A and B are shown apart, each in its own frame.
Chain A
Amino acid sequence: MLSRTADNLFWLSRYVERAENMARLMEMGYRMALMPAAGDGNRSEWASVLSASGCAQGYDPDMPLRQAEVADYLIFNRDNSSSILNCFENARANARAMRTAITAEMWEALNNALMELRRTAMHNLAKTDLPEFIDWVKRQGALFRGATDSTILRNDGYDFIRLGIFIERADNTARLLDVKYYVLLPETSMVGDGVDNYQWTTVLRAASSLRAFHWVYRDDYSPYHIAHFLILNPFSPRSLAHCSEQITNHLEHLARHYGQRSPVHSLAVETYSLLTQTRMDEIFSQGLHEFLSDFLKRNQTLSSAIAETYYFGGQ
């Protein structure tokens, strides 16, 4: 497979996943903002969403940190490279550059999503009914993944698509959990009260994991279990452990397929081992934020190593 094609497939799926996760972040902000103000009316939900999204730096400091402005920035802002609109534009540009490597179904899912998103009606919907818009974005992600799963050959191209999905998803789950950290930061005394618990369940909800969680832990919505579910539980499809397992599997598959191993494989296994061998209390005592920051760094290193190993930048 052409390196450029692999590069495009990898980023194509990353961008679709990212668009969806931007929506999830906003869902979380939206739900948290519905709660009575914690402390002295200190509303930091939307600032937290911005920080967690990783695109706080580009946000105009003169703009108010309200839903309307932040959501518009995260959805439609052209200067924000991770805005949902840019994610879909980039995904489609990647798809177009290697049209022969993806199926018609995948192309249509992507193309339709972008066409619809460009309509002004969408702009209005995002303004008046954010939850509805968020659902729309998640649906587009599901459509694209569904089209991919049911139509594309299980060759190396599929591995690169899946690598893109899980690198991005791991990144996003870690960021979602980090929102909780940012929101809680000024009010550590609130740990364990009603607001705190509500915020934790909101994290679950934004990860579309509320029901799944319930099946595993019943109604024990303790931070310990919620963090465990999203970090260490290998059965949770958005957990860091699961993403890491998938990444390891697909890299292994490529190694077998190409008959060649490289440092990227050890790197992936190392992170995976960390996630299977660490206990939740160790993470909490080390500090959740510190643990997540470390993970985000590892994930980024892994992404660069994949690009290097498979010559994304040429050779």
Chain B
Amino acid sequence: MFNEMMMNDEVREPYRALVDWMEASGPETLQQKRLEAETLFRKIGITFAVYGEGGDPERLIPFDLIPRIFTATEWRKLERGVKQRARALNTFLYDVYHNAEIIKAGIIPADLVFRNAAFEPAVIGIDPPRKVYSHIVGVDVVRVGPDDFYVLEDNCRTPSGVSYMLENREIMMRMFPELFSKLRIEPVESYPDMLHKTLKSIAPKRCDREPNIVVLTPGAMNSAYYEHSFLADQMGVELVEGQDLFVSEGRVYMRTTRGPARVDVIYRRIDDAFIDPLCFRPDSVLGVPGLMNVYRSGGVAICSAPGAGVADDKAIYTYVPDMIRFYLGQEPILNNVPTWKCANPDDLKYVLENLGELVVKEVHGSGGYGMLVGPASTKEEQATYAERIKADPGDFIAQPTLALSACPTFVESGIAPRHVDFRPFCLVGDDIRLTPGGLTRVAMREGSLVVNSSQGGGVKDTWIMAE
């Protein structure tokens, strides 16, 4: 297992200054800092819980104060790799809603795309501004060695967690001002500004003035409401709910105290199915009746575009390296995790024979739910799971259990290595932009590989060292 901080009993270079500082400070100072951070975070944490509503303390995400550090070189590679994927995924999305060249070329099976639940026939043929469907791509990356990065999955719809990236940094800068003044750590504060620029750049062609941008939230009861309000706040745009918007004469308006105000760009944080009750789920009250018609006629831009989810399906994921080769004529910079598709009889046979060593996931699952972690499972669990796979093989993929890298983390017993993953946020508009940073998630339990916050994972600040 790769340790982010230590290699062959030596402190790895990007961590040297941090380790020196920790040693010079001594365990007492660290312990004190830890308590301080806890107090600080409890304060902010309370706010998180309040926004999450229900006041359920379980929903608080544990924060760890030992940062995860990347060198400039490591970051450059990650950055290039993520941008490459974001570009390929967007080309793919445009393609499948237009000529479907990649399917005609026999690279991706038609069924996998057209019979996919996330494929949205309502947007076939639509040309969104700049041909971009997914404007914010969250790519989940894991590391297994000094130079081995693997992409676990791509999130093309509405990846969340960026508010944690910003809040974590805020806390860290308050806790360790001396480290920040000594080390050259790339700032992440520009994210809201970059997001704003991206949203501005996708305004519909028919928009003849400074575009009016809004963030569309399902409302205060949503668990990510904090992030929605945080981003709207940071960008200085309105945070709206479906009831605040309405459609009239081919345009979208919001209800203001001065009467209707036209809206040009909607950063929606609600699912496709709820966007427009006239087009999708008729029982939904979250969306805006008629919105899809306006979108289709180019009267409003929607970020991310409806139907973008077809690109981040776990079965489609296996073809991303092929997409990169097909559309961009390049070799993938970041690798996929080798994946067995149970839809494929040979793969299925292999998976069923090796359940004990594999991680099996549902194709449409998310949040770490409904998966089987082979090495951590019992014979009975494996047998039950095997039945599920056999019942509908197309619904499952399997991957080897990766030895995720570990990062030193404050736990009950002191400082100990815990497994981490990493989600940088890539913005796609007139340009492809990446904030030097991202969200590092950490599995707080010893040996656990599950970093999802819904499964008790925590978060860390991520430092990218400046050149």
Contact = CB atoms under 8 A, between A and B. Distances in A.
Interface of A: 1-6, 96-100, 111, 156, 160, 254, 258, 260, 310-311, 314-315
B260 to A, nearest CB: 7
Contact of A100 (B53, B219, B229, B256): B229
Given A97-B220, A99-B51, A3 B229 contact: no
Contacts of A5: 238
A311 B229 contact: no
B233 A96 contact: no
B448 interface: no
B259 A98 contact: no
Contacts of A6: 257
A3 B256 contact: yes
B229 A4 contact: no
Interface string B20-45: 00000000000000000000000000
Q: How large is the interface on B (under 10, 10 to 19, 20 to 34, 35 or more residues)?
A: 20 to 34
Interface stretch (B101-109, B239-247, B354-362): B239-247
A153 to B, nearest CB: 12
Given A2-B256, A98-B239, A258-B257, 15 more contacts: A1-B257, A2-B238, A2-B244, A2-B254, A3-B244, A3-B256, A6-B257, A99-B233, A99-B239, A100-B232, A258-B258, A260-B258, A310-B257, A315-B255, A315-B259
Interface in B215-272: 219-220, 229, 232-233, 238-241, 243-244, 254-260
Contacts of B229: 99-100
Contacts of A2: 238, 240, 244, 254-257
B11 interface: no
A315 B240 CA distance: 15
Contacts of A98: 239
Contacts of B258: 1, 258, 260
Contacts of B233: 99-100
B257 A3 contact: yes
Contact of B259 (A4, A111, A311): A311
B50 interface: yes
A6 B244 CA distance: 12
A6 B259 CA distance: 12
A4 B244 contact: yes
B237 to A, nearest CB: 9
Nearest to A160: B257
Question: Can you list the 10 inter-chain pairs with the closest CB atoms, starting with the nearest?
Answer: A310-B257, A99-B229, A100-B233, A3-B255, A6-B257, A96-B220, A1-B257, A258-B258, A100-B239, A100-B229
A116 to B, nearest CB: 13
Q: Which of B239, B241, B260 counts the most A-chain CB atoms under 10 A from its CB?
A: B239
A288 to B, nearest CB: 37
A127 to B, nearest CB: 25
Q: Which of B239, B243, B256 counts the most A-chain CB atoms under 10 A from its CB?
A: B256
Contacts of A156: 257
B50 A111 contact: yes
A111 B220 CA distance: 15
B465 to A, nearest CB: 32
A254 B258 CA distance: 10
Given A100-B232, A100-B233, A111-B50, A4 B239 contact: no
